[in-house]
Amino acid sequence: MLSILALSRIYGNKIVSSIIKYVVKSLSIDVVLFIGDTVSPQIIYDMYKSTRTIVIGVPGIYDDVSVIKALKEINGFLEGQLKNFNKIRIAGIGISIDSSINSLMSKTNNVDLLVTYYPGRKHNPLRSNGLAKIDKLIDKIRPKTIIFGKGRGKCVFNEHYIYPGEGFKGYFTVLSFSENLLLEKVKCFNIYSFL
């Protein structure tokens, strides 16, 4: 079984990241997934060093090259990549949309979790503007689950799409995968419930 804590849009909030570190340890999380707008590379380094978990992510529009560098240094950069964690295949699209899509189109058609900063248009639980380019990739590679980072409000999900909520407001999501590689449970939290 694999558990992933997903969060986005924390905008460098060190209070949120400190509480998330506690949550990661208390829930025995295997992977921490940043889905854009982390803003601070120090948050990525601290999460990696203090929790001793796998830390992965894609950049968002507010992330500069230092966030990308931090993710690369810990081997957690997902942009245009397909990585395997406990047999769960995870692919990523951040802000280099076209190159990531081209890379992923040529690599695979067997993705368990597609991590994308921007949502697609179809099946988007927020009913917000999405990108048709993302939908084309989804139609081609048919990921079992899509999680995206650009949105507003609290956690929302349906049978295929997950939005973890605004991290700077304390929202995050935990995904639990079974030994059969199936997404078994999605649970939304707010960090303030742990205080």
Summarize pLDDT for 172-191 with one digit per residue, the tens. 999 999 888 788 999 999 99
Class of domain 2-194: alpha beta
What is the number of other CB atoms lying within 10 angstroms of the CB of residue 84?
Answer: 9
Please say whether the beta carbons of 190 and 154 come within 8 A.
yes
Residue 123, pLDDT score? 63
Q: Which residues pair with 96 in a beta bridge?
A: none
- Given pLDDT bands bounded at 50, 70 and 90, which one contains residue 122? confident
Task: Let me know how many helices (H) and strands (E) the chain has, helices first.
Answer: 5, 11
* Nearest residue to 184 (alpha-carbon basis) of 146, 145, 135: 145
Residue for token pair 């076209």 = 98
Eight-state DSSP code of residue 77: B
b/e code 150-163 from CB counts within 10 Å (16+ = b): bbeebbbbeebbbb
User: pLDDT over 90 for what percent of the chain?
Assistant: 72
Structural element, H or E, at residue 72: helix 65-73
pTM, whole model, 2 decimals? 0.94
Residue 120, pLDDT score? 82
Any idea where the domains of the chain sit in the sequence? 2-194
- Given pLDDT bands bounded at 50, 70 and 90, which one contains residue 132? confident
Summarize pLDDT for 72-95 with one digit per residue, the tens. 999 999 999 999 988 899 999 999
Residue 179, pLDDT score? 83
Summarize pLDDT for 30-66 with one digit per residue, the tens. 999 999 999 999 999 999 999 999 999 999 999 999 9
What does the mean pLDDT of the chain come to?
Answer: 91
CA 166-167-171 angle, to 5 degrees, is 80
